[in-house]
């Protein structure tokens, strides 16, 4: 059971696992991520905690014998509560569940999410008091003259988000090519360890560094290269630029090598560094004073919006972290522009892209959600009588007399599909007994316009029916005949599931 990609694991359970998450997912992600981060892994603990929260909701739903819809809602409430508890940000928790986990934004969903996030935030306050993982009291106010700079920051963080997403997916593919686990762990550890030696802020989650930057304390950005620079400004530009490019490498190496952690904290870290970098550059170019803290916070929101494709979550998380709406307009501008820029190059977020590629992503679009949720293999008709290609017309007539169907798949002795005989193809000759031993099945069979592989998604199945215009198509399993699927059967099952999943009763 893979727990290394927490949010993606939850989404996969929604689409292919009836929202079932195993009981061990309640505690194993937290333990594994604690070990990973404790040893310096450049990842965050948020995704594992979100997975743990979802697992709690999922297992409660299963114990109560609830339907898929309500188990999914409880799992979403667990995830939303986890975000709310971590950051003491109930609104951000709700929006995270809607934007990232794709829960329905209906009254029946909003109320449980609201209860979950408020309860989680309250419990966090009771247990931890005023201690917050990430907080900032913003003293600067937004000035209209700074509006163009936030537009630039939005474009910049959007492009950084594209870099972050592409490198994450590339590293995942590359490390999967390394079959030996020991070798994979060793390579990932060497890469991450080397980067931490060169850039110490990469150690762990990075929240301490973010808090230091927000206070105007850049001492945590000191590295082995500090002594080589005479200009503090130039050093900060070089070091922050390097961090923007390399943080994702450290994070990807940690995760892909077998570490357990998420990209939530690394995204916030990279966004904060990107905001500082932009403030340094734009302040120098414009020869004006730019609020570094505001740019750092807006940068965090911009990168979240670009990497996770969740602009509203980004906006309200930063609003709740700062405890006010003073920065709301810059956050909206930066997050929106970053999201649009990122979507120009990446269709899906890092959480969604692999599921979307397999046609398993459940979205707010009900039709597309059913395409991801429905297991169409249950509609395969495997009761059709088959016949061998070397059989005679007489053999075929005997089979026709025993069958209620007008489709007769032609398969060889190894069940390799070769074609199909339709009743209409032999109707004119089936009563001529003189042809019974002269005509072979292979002489009258036809090749169907296409076939369906049993591993294909429902979307591919429906697209194939649409493209071919066929009403029935053969289904193959690793090249062998597995049965037939009908267009009417698929559409009937599709309609039934649509009613079942989205009925308010």
Q: Which residues pair with 420 in a beta bridge?
A: 409, 446
CA distance 388 to 393: 11
Mean residue pLDDT across the chain: 88
Instruction: Answer whether residue 56 is part of any domain.
Output: yes
* pLDDT tens, residue by residue, 196-221: 999 999 998 889 999 999 988 888 88
* pLDDT tens, residue by residue, 412-434: 988 899 999 988 888 888 888 88
Domain boundary, last residue among 310, 344, 364 = 364
Instruction: Answer whether residue 369 is part of any domain.
Output: no
In this prediction, residue 265 carries a pLDDT of 92
Residues 484, 397 share a domain? yes
- Give burial (CB, 10 Å; 0-12/13-18/19+) of 80: buried
Domain boundary, last residue among 132, 159, 194 = 132
Alpha-helical runs (H) found in 258-327: 264-286, 292-308, 311-322
Q: Choose from 75-84, 177-186, 379-388 the range with maximum mean pLDDT.
A: 75-84
Who wins on pLDDT, 351 or 157?
A: 157
Q: Which residues contact 223 (CB under 8 A, 6 or more apart)?
A: 198, 199, 200, 239
Q: Indicate the number of domains in the chain.
A: 3
- What ranges make up the beta strands (E) of 349-416? 407-411
In this prediction, residue 170 carries a pLDDT of 92
In this prediction, residue 17 carries a pLDDT of 62
Residues 26, 170 share a domain? no
In this prediction, residue 425 carries a pLDDT of 80
Residues 481, 401 share a domain? yes
Instruction: Answer whether residue 139 is part of any domain.
Output: no
- What ranges make up the beta strands (E) of 100-251? none
In this prediction, residue 339 carries a pLDDT of 97
Q: Indicate whether 32 pLDDT > 50.
A: yes
Q: Which residues contact 187 (CB under 8 A, 6 or more apart)?
A: 175, 178, 253, 257
Residues 153, 121 share a domain? no
Comparing CA positions, the residue from 434, 467, 351, 299 lying closest to residue 9 is 351
CATH of residue 156: 1.10.3080.10
Range of the structural domain that residue 360 is part of: 144-364
In this prediction, residue 492 carries a pLDDT of 85
In this prediction, residue 1 carries a pLDDT of 59
Instruction: Answer whether residue 191 is part of any domain.
Output: yes
* pLDDT tens, residue by residue, 148-166: 999 999 999 999 999 999 9
Residues 389, 489 share a domain? yes
* pLDDT tens, residue by residue, 267-312: 999 999 999 999 999 999 888 888 899 999 999 999 999 999 999 9
Tell me the mean pLDDT in the region 491-504: 70
User: At 505, is the pLDDT very low, low, confident or very high (cuts 50, 70, 90)?
Assistant: very low
CA distance 284 to 281: 5
Q: Indicate whether 331 pLDDT > 60.
A: yes
In this prediction, residue 481 carries a pLDDT of 92
Instruction: Answer whether residue 355 is part of any domain.
Output: yes
Q: Indicate whether 362 pLDDT > 70.
A: no
In this prediction, residue 84 carries a pLDDT of 94
Residues 278, 167 share a domain? yes
User: At 353, is the pLDDT very low, low, confident or very high (cuts 50, 70, 90)?
Assistant: confident
Residues 233, 319 share a domain? yes
CA distance 246 to 369: 36
In this prediction, residue 405 carries a pLDDT of 83
Tell me the mean pLDDT in the region 3-24: 80
State the DSSP H helix or E strand holding residue 367, giving kind and residue range, or none if neither: helix 366-373
Using CA atoms, how far residue 116 sits from 58, 76, 346, 439, in Å, is 14, 9, 32, 71
Q: Indicate whether 16 pLDDT > 80.
A: no
Q: Indicate whether 359 pLDDT > 80.
A: no
Q: Indicate whether 327 pLDDT > 70.
A: yes
User: At 400, is the pLDDT very low, low, confident or very high (cuts 50, 70, 90)?
Assistant: confident
Domain boundary, last residue among 333, 364, 395 = 364
pTM > 0.95: yes or no: no
Above pLDDT 90, what percent of the chain?
45
* pLDDT tens, residue by residue, 460-482: 888 899 899 888 999 999 889 99
* pLDDT tens, residue by residue, 241-259: 999 999 999 999 998 888 8
Residues 55, 193 share a domain? no
Residues 299, 417 share a domain? no
Residues 62, 209 share a domain? no
Residues 393, 498 share a domain? yes
What does 397-428 look like in DSSP terms, one character per residue? HHHHHH-S-SEEEEE-TT-BEEEEEEHHHHTT
In this prediction, residue 3 carries a pLDDT of 60
Residues 381, 308 share a domain? no
Q: Indicate whether 504 pLDDT > 50.
A: no
CA distance 178 to 183: 7
């Amino acid at each position: 059971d893979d727990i290394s990609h927490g949010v993606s694991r939850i989404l996969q359970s929604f689409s292919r696992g009836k929202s079932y998450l195993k009981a061990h997912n309640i505690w194993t992600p937290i333990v594994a991520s604690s070990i990973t981060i404790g040893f310096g892994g450049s990842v965050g603990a948020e995704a594992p905690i979100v997975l743990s929260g979802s697992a709690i909701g999922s297992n409660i739903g299963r114990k109560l014998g609830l339907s898929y819809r309500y188990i999914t809602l409880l799992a979403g409430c667990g995830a939303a509560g986890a975000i709310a508890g971590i950051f003491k940000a109930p609104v951000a928790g709700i929006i995270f569940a809607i934007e990232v986990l794709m829960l329905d934004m209906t009254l029946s969903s909003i109320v449980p999410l609201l209860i979950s996030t408020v309860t989680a935030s309250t419990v966090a306050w009771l247990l931890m008091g005023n201690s917050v993982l990430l907080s900032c009291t913003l003293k600067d106010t937004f000035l209209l003259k700074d509006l163009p700079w936030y537009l630039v920051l939005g474009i910049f963080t959007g492009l950084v988000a594209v870099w972050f997403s592409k490198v994450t997916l590339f590293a995942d593919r590359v490390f999967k090519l390394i079959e030996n686990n020991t070798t994979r762990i060793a390579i990932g550890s060497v890469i991450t360890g080397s980067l931490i030696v060169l850039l110490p802020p990469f150690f762990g989650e990075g929240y301490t560094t973010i808090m230091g930057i927000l206070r105007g304390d850049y001492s945590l950005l000191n590295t082995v290269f500090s002594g080589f620079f005479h200009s503090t400004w130039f050093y900060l530009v070089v070091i922050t630029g390097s961090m923007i490019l390399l943080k994702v490498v450290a994070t990807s190496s940690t995760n892909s090598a077998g570490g357990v952690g998420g990209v939530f904290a690394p995204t916030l870290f990279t966004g904060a560094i990107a905001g500082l970098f932009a403030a340094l550059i734009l302040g120098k170019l414009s020869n004006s004073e730019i609020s570094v803290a505001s740019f750092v916070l807006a940068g965090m929101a911009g990168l979240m919006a670009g990497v996770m494709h969740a602009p509203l979550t980004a906006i309200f998380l930063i609003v709740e972290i700062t405890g006010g709406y003073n920065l709301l307009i810059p956050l909206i501008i930066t997050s929106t522009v970053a999201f649009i820029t990122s979507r120009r190059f990446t269709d899906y977020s890092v959480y969604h892209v692999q599921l979307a590629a397999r046609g398993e992503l459940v979205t707010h679009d009900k039709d597309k959600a059913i395409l991801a949720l429905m297991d169409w293999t249950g509609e395969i008709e495997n009761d059709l009588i088959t016949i061998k290609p070397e059989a005679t017309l007489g053999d075929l007539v005997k089979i026709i007399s025993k069958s209620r169907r007008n489709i007769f798949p032609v398969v060889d002795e190894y069940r390799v599909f070769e074609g199909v005989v339709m009743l209409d193809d032999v109707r004119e000759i089936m009563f001529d007994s003189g042809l019974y031993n002269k005509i072979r099945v292979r002489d009258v069979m036809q090749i169907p316009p296409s076939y369906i592989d049993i591993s294909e998604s429902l979307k591919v199945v429906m697209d194939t029916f649409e493209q071919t215009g066929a009403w029935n198509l053969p289904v193959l399993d690793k090249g062998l005949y597995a049965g037939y699927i009908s267009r009417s059967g698929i559409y009937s099952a599709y309609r039934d599931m649509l009613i079942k999943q989205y009925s308010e009763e």
